[in-house]
């Protein structure tokens, strides 16, 4: 995502949305939280990836100064799991 955002910045110049998206370490992580008032006004995007669309909705609906990224650990080890349709305790279900 970062190369795309940096290319857009070079093409269109300074744009607040591009700068905002580029400020996140992992734009496509898919993990976020928000206050309930903001969650109520955000639309669920149907035409973009969920992560980028959600960040764009947050940008549209609140002040950038109310948004932050928090690192919960020094090293995050994502546990990729295989699909496990027969046993819900072994992996992901379809």
Over residues 13-30, the pLDDT tens digits come to 999 999 999 998 877 776
Contacts of 93 (CB under 8 A, 6+ apart): 83, 84, 85
- Contact yes or no for 54/42 (Cβ under 8 A): yes
Over residues 43-79, the pLDDT tens digits come to 988 877 888 889 999 999 999 999 988 777 666 665 6
């Amino acid at each position: 995502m970062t190369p795309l955002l940096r290319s857009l910045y070079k093409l269109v110049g300074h744009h607040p949305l591009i700068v905002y998206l580029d400020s996140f370490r992992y734009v496509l992580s898919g993990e976020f939280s928000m206050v309930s008032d903001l969650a109520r006004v955000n639309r669920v995007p149907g035409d973009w990836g969920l992560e980028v669309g959600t960040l764009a909705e947050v940008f549209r609906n609140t002040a950038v100064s109310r948004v932050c990224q928090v690192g919960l650990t020094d090293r995050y080890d994502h546990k990729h799991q295989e699909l496990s349709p027969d046993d819900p305790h072994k992996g992901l279900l379809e």
